[in-house]
Amino acid sequence: MTSSIEASAYLCGMMEKQVRVRFAPSPTGGLHLGGVRTALYNYLFAKKHGGTFILRIEDTDQGRYVEGAEQYIIDSLEWCGIGPDEGPHKGGSMGPYRQSERKERYLKHAEKLVADGVAYYAFDTTQELEEMREKFKSEQNPSPQYNASIRMEMKNSISLPPEEVEKLIIEGMPYVIRIKVPASTNVTLNDMIRGEVTFNTDQLDDKVLLKADGMPTYHLAVVVDDYEMKISHAFRGEEWLPSAPIHVLLWEYLGWKNDMPKWAHLPLILKPDGKGKLSKRDGDKLGFPVFAMDWKDPKTGETTKGFKKMGFLPEAFINMLALLGWNDGSNEEVADIVQLTERFTIERIHKGGAKFDFEKAKWFNGEWIKRSSDAYLLPLVKTILFEKGIQANDEKTLMLIGLVKERCQLLQDFHAQTSYFFESPKVIDSSSVKPKWDDKKNNFFTAWKKTIADLGEWTTEQIENSFKLDAGKHELKTGELQLPLRIMLVGGKFGPPVFEIAQNIGKEETIKRIEFGIKSINELS
RNA sequence: GGCCCGUUGGUCAAUCGGUUAAGACGCCUCCCUUUCACGGAGGAAUGAGGGGUUCGAUUCCCCUACGGGCUACCA
């Protein structure tokens, strides 16, 4: 395995530039499923090719900046086991990794674009822009664009005489810098997933590159940073495809065309029901998480539940995500990060969006719980139990994990599956045994609890033997007595073999629960 | 509205012109177990529609339909 990874890394290094990929979220809130998957594909690709995985924070929108979101993103990636090699928290040779800290660079490049005649200053106010859109709006064209056809009617350094432009700037009139998109030109880009995609520039508008506050928009920042950070392959969601030609144009205008990364526009993760891309609200509505970890909004104080808190193992979470939109063609679905890395290829990423299926996600988690060692699960299970008020020692917990883990899909299930080992059930499902309950059975349990009181050895075998012996004396089959016993000890129809449970909770507790059980069943009308 | 992307069972999906169209989740039946699971054996369920190309199309092309994305001084 290692050798194939090294080999491809070697080949890549020989024939192409060093693989450097980046995950570039904006710190506006919790990290969404789709974001984690994008990060994961970046990670897998980087590791497979011996490359570098970079985290870049796209915080150019001051209005949307949310305190704590950056740290949350970092924590989430770490939890998933896909921590970046370079980033604001780790440093690196091509930082800074926060766009807000690279402000001057964008300005410099934007000015150069203006000087080269491929961008221009625009002085239109928000109101004027609205008026323009209102004026040109029609049934055929509900959202008019700021482009070659109306550029001359607006207030910018192309339509205005140079003296006027100079005057406005000196007066301190706020302005933005817009790209000057050529008219009627085809722009083609080669996407690794979709192949060639062509756009006509008449459909594009003169996107703002530099905002009035001096910050770049995404369009400028992504190009400048990808260039300066020597990004070789750029993964991003499909929602970016329509603006990709703007980026291609910019790579060209900035004179960096030969260094442009290879693009891969990832399919979207869709809502399980209905249509559209999955959003935080869908999770709230449908009862499953959308964020990796719990996210507390600092403004509203509201907490949105994440996969971690929901009881997911990170291994299962990324395993499930990796296969949502990609597969290696084999029938093996459960794979760890190393195996995923070996098998990952961009060619096998799907073109179509995938609906998220929470049931399948839980199945992955169940598989991972079953495959995890008891020792690995120990601290996680202890935390779950502790939160429910159960303080368990390691030895006992370890034993219980082994006993019940195949019955758990979520970490939380360990509580329901083990709580009766720590405390007697508060309520028992008497109604399940009541219909078949009679004096014979009543007498049996009354007698057997006395028998076990005198039992010398409290082993599973001894308990079971005495149970069978007494059953015979009462002319009853052990089979029909096991369910009542289970209900008395566990409270419900679940859990490992009954005699093991009896053995574990001890003689006294067993007798106590039988007494309570008999009483409950008899009292049930 | 325009532009772009997409479309195999309920969901994730294999197939890279010739298959009885895999596999997984979920669902159903049975076995194991007189609990619940795990495990095992089965089952129901898929190529949006229409044209081409071809000896042969799920696979290639076109049209239609449907779905999605974008259309901000947000990313």
CA distances from A498 to A249, A459, A469, A485, A490 (A): 71, 12, 16, 7, 8
Q: What pLDDT does residue A3 have?
A: 38
CA of A176: nucleotide with nearest C1': B73
CA of A208: nucleotide with nearest C1': B73
Q: What is the 3-state secondary structure (H, E, C) of A188-253?
A: EEEECCCEEEEEEHHHCCCCEEECCCCCECHHHHHHHHHHHCCCCEEEEEHHHHHHHHHHHHHHHH
- Give catalytic status of residue A512 as yes or no: no
CA–C1' distance A339–B14 (Å)?
19
CA dihedral A76, A81, A86, A87 (to 10 degrees): 0
pLDDT at A7 over 60: no
A320 close to A305: Cβ distance less than 8 angstroms:
no
CA–C1' distance A61–B38 (Å)?
51
CA–C1' distance A355–B12 (Å)?
8
Mean pLDDT of chain A: 93
Q: What is the mean pLDDT of residues A47-52?
A: 97
CA–C1' distance A484–B35 (Å)?
10
The tokens for A477 are: 């089959």
* Domains in chain A: ranges and CATH: 2-88+221-270 (3.40.50.620), 104-210 (3.90.800.10), 426-525 (1.10.10.350)
Which one of the listed residues A112, A277, A280, A388 is annotated catalytic?
Answer: A280
Q: What pLDDT does residue A15 have?
A: 54
Under the banding of pLDDT at 50, 70 and 90, the label for residue A4 is very low
Those residues whose C-beta lies under 8 Å from the C-beta of residue A306, and which sit 6 or more positions away, are A30, A76, A289, A291, A292, A293, A294, A295
- Give tens-digit pLDDT for A227-271: 999 999 999 999 999 999 999 999 999 999 999 999 999 999 999
CA–C1' distance A136–B60 (Å)?
42
Q: What pLDDT does residue A378 have?
A: 97
Give percent above pLDDT 90 in chain A.
88
DSSP structure class, residue A133: H
| C-beta neighbour count of A191 within 10 angstroms | 17
CA of A417: nucleotide with nearest C1': B36
- Give tens-digit pLDDT for A439-455: 999 999 999 999 999 98
Which bases of strand B sit closer than 7 A to a protein CB? 1-8, 10-15, 22-26, 34-38, 67-75
CA of A367: nucleotide with nearest C1': B38
- Give tens-digit pLDDT for A362-407: 999 999 999 999 999 999 999 999 999 999 899 999 999 999 999 9
Tell me what ipTM this predicted complex has: 0.96
Q: What pLDDT does residue A9 have?
A: 43
CA of A277: nucleotide with nearest C1': B68
- Give tens-digit pLDDT for A54-112: 999 999 999 999 999 999 999 999 999 999 999 999 999 998 999 999 999 999 999 99
Q: What pLDDT does residue A139 have?
A: 85
Q: What pLDDT does residue A95 have?
A: 82
CA–C1' distance A519–B49 (Å)?
67
DSSP structure class, residue A275: S
pLDDT at A499 over 70: yes
Of A14-28, A93-107, A328-342, least confident by mean pLDDT is: A14-28
pLDDT at A307 over 70: yes
| C-beta neighbour count of A290 within 10 angstroms | 24
pLDDT at A1 over 50: no
A65 close to A213: Cβ distance less than 8 angstroms:
no
Under the banding of pLDDT at 50, 70 and 90, the label for residue A16 is low
How distant is the alpha carbon of residue A449 from its chain centre?
Answer: 52
Give percent above pLDDT 70 in chain A.
97
Under the banding of pLDDT at 50, 70 and 90, the label for residue A14 is very low
Q: What pLDDT does residue A8 have?
A: 46
Of A129-133, A281-285, A336-340, least confident by mean pLDDT is: A281-285
CA–C1' distance A109–B15 (Å)?
48
A260 close to A222: Cβ distance less than 8 angstroms:
no
A177 close to A121: Cβ distance less than 8 angstroms:
yes
